[in-house]
Every structure is written in C-alpha cells, then in structure tokens.
C-alpha cells in the first residue's frame, strides 16, 4: 500500500513537470512572435516614412552655372608704411628760437620748419672772413717781393736761394688762403644749418621739442618726424608656394594690380601696383615679403593702418562658376546638389579650382546652365523633390567688386 502511494506521487510530479515545460515553450514562442511582429511594424513605418520623405516637395533656392572671365587674386593682411619716414634733426648745437610748422601739416622738401639762434655762427663767419683778408694782404706783399727778387736775380744782386725762399712763401700764403676760404664755407654752412628745413616732403607729426630748449646735433629724438604718404606703400607676405605664379605673372604683365580693402575686407579703399619684393623667403614662416605702392592722393591710407591686400595674378577666361554656397563637403568629397529636369536632386561631385568674390570656379562636374541648390541643402538627400520658386542668378562679372583669396 505504501509502495502504491509513492508511485502515484512520482507520476503526479512527472505530469506537473511536463505541464511547466509546455507552458515555458508556449511563452517563448509567444515572445518570439511578438518580437518579429514589433520589428515588422517598425520596418513598415520606416518604409512609410521614407516614401513620405521621397514624395515631400522641399522649397529651395537655386542658381545656374555661369560662364565668364574671373580675376584670380592672392589675399594677405598688409600694413601701410610711408615711402620714407624721416626724423627732423638739428645739424648744429644751439637754442631753438622759433618753430614754423603746425603739427600734422603737409610740408614740402626744403620748407623752413624751425630756427636756431644764429648769432654765434655769424661771428664765426666774420672771423673767417677777416682772416682771409689778412692772409690775402700777406700774399699780395709776398708776390710783390717775389717780382722784385726776380729782377735782382737777373742783375746778379741776390742769390737764387733767396728767390726760391720767397717763391715758397708765396705758395704758403696761397695755401693759407685756401684754408681761409674753406673756413668761410664751413661758417656759412653752420649758419645755414641754423635754419632747419624739411629733408623730405610728407606729413609732419607731433612736435617733440618746444621753443626755447637747447638742441644738439647728437640728439636722437629730433624735432618731429615726417612721413611721406603720397605716394604710400603697404607691406604684406604670401606663402612661398604662391611665388612661382607671381613670378610668371610679372614676366607676362610686368606690372601687377593690387587692391587695398578695409579691415572688414568688404570696402575697396584704393588701387595700386606691386612695387617690389624681398630677395629671400623667411625660413621661420615660409613666406615672402612684398611691397605695394598706392598714389594715395586722397589720403585714404594712413601709416601703420591694417588693410586687406588683394594681388591680381591672372584672369581666367570662360570659367564656369557657381555661388560658393552651393559647394558642399562630405565623406565622398566636394559635391553639389544638381537639380534634374524632373525637379529632383542628385549628388554631383565637382572639382573646385579656386574661390573668388563668393563664387567657386568649377573645373569638373558641371556644365553651363546646370541648376544647383544654394539654400536649403540641409533638408536634401539623393532623389529629393524640390520646388525652385526662389531661383537666384549667379552674380555677373560686372557686379563683382570684392575678391576672396585663392584656395
């Protein structure tokens, strides 16, 4: 009886274990089915979203590929420098008696700027002139004696040695007179130096010494500084890899045009030409220094002013170009969104040679009159349908007034 009860218990436990195993299998199957059902619905939703995106019309701004002559500029930051910067200094010592210039005025070379007390130099001049008169009298007397001795020698009344001695005395007095004349010239020069004149033409700066002060030829500060600003120069540097193109342009054109823009690089100040270049490349920066010259008759440029320099090196004829806003960069390289005839866009890879005046010159990838997207590209992808109700034209050559640096 006890054995029978134990067998029934074991049988009941086996049946219970089978039920739980069956329940576990069914639960697993239900979970797997739910998993695939969920992701299938997500896949369907994604497909529906893609279809909806593909059928959505996106409003964009576009431009057509244009063709024309594009000027190629090299750009650099430059510093305006006067052609000459001269310190006005006294060449003699003395008291500054008068100042005849106004700070900031434009002066011409040779114009009187200041005067030094000249009385001591006038005295020196009179002394030199008096000494000359004295020595001239001695020379005249020696010449008279020389003629007398010549007659006496012919009469055999004196020895030849006496005549030779008198002849030497005449030469001595002649040398003394030459020294006296040089002393007079020196005194006159010192007297002239007491009047300080402008050594060059230009704009004079602030006065550095006041009237009444003692000034010396050894002073380092001077009275003022004159900067020649008409014409005026600007120095700038360019990378060494630009030098061959510049040298070639100089051989072809002899003179290269230079444009100076304001600090914002948007307003043209004036135009000039390339005047010179340094004879060696700076090894620390890998750049070469250049100097441009501008007429500056309107005084728009001022010494030490910072300007943006645009050096014209070439003009590319019949160049295809689009607004730079159309150029995109990605993992596939440089590309644009090309609008096809069915109003959909495709990704078109392009080769850009340079960027000028906000326009990019296209070497490969586009043809004349092709349409590209310039605004709204962040919403586009391959095959997107667009609405070109805001089409814009690429700026023409005539409207270009500002040029960016060559890439």
- Determine the average pLDDT of the residues in 206-223: 94
Across 83-144, the runs of DSSP E, i.e. the strands, are 85-88, 94-99, 106-107, 112-116
In this structure, the answer to whether residues 239 and 352 fall within a common structural domain is no
Contacts of 304 (CB under 8 A, 6+ apart): 79, 80, 81
CATH code assigned at 391: 2.40.420.20
259 token code pair:
């444009």
Which of these three, 210, 226, 242, is where a domain ends? Answer: 226
- Is 132 found in the same domain as 64? no
Tokens at 393, concatenated: 């034209």
Average pLDDT value for residue range 103-107? 93
Whether residue 174 is contained in a domain is answered as: yes
Q: Which tokens sit at 389?
A: 């109700």
Q: Is the peptide bond before 231 cis (omega within 30 degrees of 0)?
A: yes
Q: What would the two tokens of residue 13 be? A: 């436990």
Instruction: Please report which confidence band the pLDDT of residue 23 belongs to, taking 50, 70 and 90 as the band edges.
Output: confident
The two tokens of residue 55 are 């059928």
Here the CATH number for the domain that contains residue 107 is 2.40.50.100
Distance CA 4, CA 142 (A): 177
pLDDT band at 13 (very low <50, low <70, confident <90, very high): low
Cα 404 to the chain's mean position, in Å? 13
Mean pLDDT over 318-330 rounds to 89
In a domain, 268, yes or no: yes
Residue at 33 is within a domain? no
Average pLDDT over residues 115-129: 96
- Domain span at residue 265 reads 75-82+227-314
Per-residue pLDDT, averaged over 277-297, amounts to 95
Structural domain total, the chain:
4
Q: Identify whether 170 is part of a domain.
A: yes
Give domain status of residue 101, yes or no: yes
- 213 and 337 both lie in a single domain: no
Q: What is the pLDDT of residue 358?
A: 83
Is the distance from CB of 63 to CB of 391 less than 8 angstroms?
yes
Q: How far apart are the C-alpha atoms of 320 and 350, rounded to whole Å? A: 12
Residue 115 has pLDDT above 80, yes or no: yes
- CA pair distance 393, 63, nearest whole angstrom: 5
Write down how long the chain is: 407
Q: Give the model's pLDDT for residue 146.
A: 92
| Residue % of the chain over a pLDDT of 90 | 56
Q: Which of 300, 176, 179 is nearest to 231 (CA)?
A: 300
pTM: 0.67
Indicate whether 231 and 310 sit together in one domain: yes
Distance of alpha carbon 19 from alpha carbon 236, whole angstroms: 91
**Four-CA torsion 8, 14, 20, 26, nearest 10 degrees:** -120
**Phi and psi (nearest 5°) for 243?**
-60, -45
Structure tokens at 370: 């092709």
Nearest-angstrom CA–CA distance, 323 and 372: 9
Picking from 176, 193, 210, the residue at the C-terminal end of a domain is: 193
Kindly state whether residue 38 falls inside one of the protein's structural domains.
no
Cα(259)–Cα(292) distance, integer angstroms: 9
pLDDT digits (tens, 9 = 90+) for 261-279: 999 988 999 999 999 999 9
pLDDT at 57 over 50: yes
Same domain, 138 and 148: yes
273 forms beta bridges with 257, 293
Which helix H or strand E contains 49, and what residues bound it? helix 2-55
Give yes or no: residues 309 and 320 share one domain. no
């Amino acid at each position: 009886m006890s054995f029978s009860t134990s067998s029934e218990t074991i049988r009941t436990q086996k049946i219970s274990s089978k039920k739980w195993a069956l329940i576990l299998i069914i639960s697993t199957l239900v979970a797997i089915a739910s998993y695939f059902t969920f992701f299938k619905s997500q896949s369907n939703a994604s497909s529906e979203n893609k279809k909806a995106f593909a059928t959505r019309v996106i409003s964009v701004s576009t431009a057509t590929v244009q063709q024309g002559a594009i000027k190629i500029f090299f750009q650099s930051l430059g510093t305006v420098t006067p052609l000459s910067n001269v310190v006005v200094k006294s060449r003699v010592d003395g008291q500054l008696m008068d100042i005849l210039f106004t700070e900031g005025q434009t002066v011409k070379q040779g114009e009187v700027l200041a005067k030094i007390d000249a009385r001591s130099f006038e005295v020196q001049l009179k002394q030199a002139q008096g000494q000359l008169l004295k020595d001239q009298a001695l020379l005249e007397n020696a010449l008279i004696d020389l003629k007398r001795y010549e007659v006496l020698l012919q009469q055999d009344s004196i020895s030849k040695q006496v005549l030779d001695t008198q002849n030497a005395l005449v030469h001595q007095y002649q040398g003394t007179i030459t020294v006296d004349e040089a002393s007079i010239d020196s005194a006159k020069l010192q007297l002239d130096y007491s009047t300080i004149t402008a050594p060059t033409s230009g704009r004079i700066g602030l006065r550095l010494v006041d009237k009444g002060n003692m000034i010396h030829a050894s002073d380092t500060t001077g009275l003022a500084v004159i900067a020649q600003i008409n014409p005026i120069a600007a120095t700038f540097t360019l990378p060494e890899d630009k030098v061959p193109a510049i040298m070639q342009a100089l051989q072809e054109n002899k003179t290269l045009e230079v444009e100076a823009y304001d600090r914002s690089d948007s307003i043209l100040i004036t135009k000039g030409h390339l005047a010179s270049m340094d004879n060696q490349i700076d090894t620390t920066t890998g750049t070469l220094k250049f100097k441009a010259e501008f007429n500056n008759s309107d005084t728009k440029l001022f010494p030490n002013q910072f300007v943006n320099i645009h050096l014209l090196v070439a003009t590319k004829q019949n160049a295809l170009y689009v607004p730079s806003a159309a150029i995109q960069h990605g993992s596939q390289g440089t590309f644009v969104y090309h609008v096809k005839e069915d109003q959909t866009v495709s990704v078109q890879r392009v080769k850009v040679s340079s960027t000028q005046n906000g326009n990019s010159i296209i070497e490969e990838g586009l043809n004349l009159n092709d349409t590209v997207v310039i605004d709204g590209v962040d919403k586009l992808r391959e095959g997107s349908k667009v609405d070109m109700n805001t089409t814009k034209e690429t700026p023409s050559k005539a409207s270009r007034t500002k040029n960016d640096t060559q890439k």
